[in-house]
Amino acid sequence: MTFPLDKILTISAKDYVGSSDVRDSYDVKGVHYSLIITAGEKKIESAVLNFAEMVPGDAEIVVGYKNSTSAAGTGCGFKMYYIQISGTALIPKNK
């Protein structure tokens, strides 16, 4: 099941939780996805969905979301791009 896109946020964990004691209430897990594509490929449209599929199912939210695309050169006459997506999944601790 894909993690809901509306729960992937750019804000910090501290801003989301409202205090600096994030680890008191949550386990944290880094989530990363990368992909090399050629210009015009449809894969770029699904990169965020692929990232969302990597989020642990028990996560409450993903914070610190970043998405960057950079030129990776040319191969076989096509421009190539490197996509990197990352964030931090906050998983509520069992109480």
- pLDDT tens sequence for the chain (95 residues): 789 999 999 999 999 998 778 888 999 999 999 998 877 666 666 888 999 999 999 999 999 999 998 887 776 777 888 899 999 999 999 75
Q: Which residues pair with 47 in a beta bridge?
A: none
The stretches of the chain forming alpha helices (DSSP H) are 13-17, 22-25, 43-53
Q: What CATH number should be reported for the domain holding residue 45? A: 3.30.110
Give, as one character, the DSSP assignment of residue 10: S
Residue 75: how many CA atoms within 13 Å on its side-chain side? 9
Q: Whole-model pTM?
A: 0.84
Number of separate domains in the chain: 1
List of residues 6+ apart from 95 with CB closer than 8 A: none
Q: What range does the domain containing 58 cover?
A: 5-92
